[in-house]
Structure 1
């Protein structure tokens, strides 16, 4: 019995008929989007609460700088390095670990003599080198004495004294709990005023604002005598948290 041969025309016809079926299988309907947590038609009460916690700082950051001026950039840099090494050595000898002293900024730029007339050619005065370091202090009572130590060793600029919290997450939690309690109290007042019962929480969101140590100022006054310590008075840190709660409403109005 002769073998049955499938002609190329028949194969092409079968492939053409199968293509729409495969395409229909590939184009499955997209799944239905997940139902939102809060039904927009549900009867709800939305409230906002803000909590605030004030706490004394437990760490400080001192920005010290050494500026030098010399006829050449090389001479200014060398002089600056020698003087800054002396300042850092004094701080380390005073008990600050070397790892707690970090370079924050280093600049070299030309400095010109004041121009007698606007059209006059600027005359180079020399090169100024500025080296700023940040000193991390974990004992606030030592901030004043350390400033005196650095200035006594030759530091000629104090840019800032900033205070902060070593473990801000603990204070953030306290502020958040306070915010939730305030929001819940507001929701209960609203429910009572409306004559309804407060149901469960359907949604919650929060924003926590950490303390901003860069915005905290310290009163910095140079001591008048060599045996008087520079007074430093840190300010309290304020941490705030805001929560938004959505409660379900149970029961009927009056």
Structure 2
């Protein structure tokens, strides 16, 4: 049976020899990494706002939650009815906050401690968020709302309903700046600009700027407050990765 062992020995020796052989070396092209250059550009476009987001609230307090709610609902109904008369569309009127909260009183005892809190009344808050598309109406709307019962203000945020055209212009300016920068860098380095490897973009809408916030009273609204919309700036940053021709 000795002759059966020979093929096995030959096969084992062949496998060991194959394992000992060095792996084929990588080609020069495989080892060489592609040279690249990364540039960024920024584009800005400022345009006047064409819409304002306005928040207003009616706050009423009473001894009972029912009485506070009744007073609040009556005032808010008058405010909403007036807004509709001023051609504010239903889609632009939205309840943004509604709450019923107890009011507490905590008296101090003779020994310097405090008694257990006692509910002495209730506060009802009902808020509205409005989209005002006619900015010429803004001051008049605020004035009328205060006279009808709004006694807490929110923020005025000036924005644009459709800023797509402005964003597109900012995007074009950002790309142009990145391309010009890439050309300048490669020319200065004495190399040639190659193909585009990657493009990415960062875009953020303008930060909301609170323009108006105060506790209101009817006697303070003798005239519509002056409102200045200013401009909204849309900024786009573009990053481009180019290959460098060797």
Q: Give the TM-score category using the shorter length.
A: 0.7 to 0.9
Distance 1:238 1:193, change over 3 A: same
RMSD in angstroms over aligned alpha carbons? 2.3
Q: Which residue of 2 aligns with 1:174?
A: 169
Q: Which residue of 2 aligns with 1:235?
A: 230
Q: How far, CA to CA, are the matches of 1:245 and 1:184 in structure 2?
A: 8
Q: Which residue of 1 aligns with 2:103?
A: 111
Deviation of 1:95 (Å): 2.2
Map 1:107-146 onto structure 2 (within 5 A). Answer: 107-113=99-105, 115-116=107-108, 118-146=113-141
Q: How far, CA to CA, are the matches of 1:88 and 1:95 in structure 2?
A: 11
Contact 1:220 1:231 in 2 (8 A): no
Q: Which residue of 2 aligns with 1:216?
A: 209
Superposed structure 1 runs of 4+ greater than 3 Å apart: 114-118, 219-225
| Match for residue 202 of structure 2 among 207, 210, 222 | 207
Mind listing any 5+ residue stretches in structure 1 that lack a counterpart?
1-38
Distance 1:225 1:101, change over 3 A: closer
Q: How far, CA to CA, are the matches of 2:35 and 2:228 in structure 1?
A: 52
Q: How far, CA to CA, are the matches of 1:205 and 1:40 in structure 2?
A: 25
1:152 aligns with 2:147: yes
1:73 aligns with 2:65: yes
Q: Which residue of 2 aligns with 1:9?
A: none
Deviation of 1:154 (Å): 1.3
Deviation of 1:224 (Å): 6.1
Question: 199-208 vs 217-226, which deviates more?
Answer: 217-226
1:191 aligns with 2:186: yes
Q: Which residue of 2 aligns with 1:24?
A: none
User: In the TM superposition, what whole-angstrom CA distance separates every residue of 1:199-232 from its partner, at most 9, and x where no partner exists?
Assistant: 23221111111223xx213267989673x32111
Deviation of 1:130 (Å): 0.1
Distance 1:55 1:114, change over 3 A: farther
Q: Which residue of 2 aligns with 1:249?
A: 244
Q: How far, CA to CA, are the matches of 2:193 and 2:206 in structure 1?
A: 34
Q: What is the number of equivalent residue pairs in this alignment?
A: 210
Distance 1:135 1:69, change over 3 A: same
Q: How far, CA to CA, are the matches of 1:124 and 1:73 in structure 2?
A: 11
Mind listing any 5+ residue stretches in structure 2 that lack a counterpart?
1-30
1:89 aligns with 2:55: no
TM-score by length of 1: 0.76
Deviation of 1:149 (Å): 1.0
Distance 1:180 1:63, change over 3 A: same
Contact 2:153 2:212 in 1 (8 A): no
1:41 is paired with a residue whose SS is coil
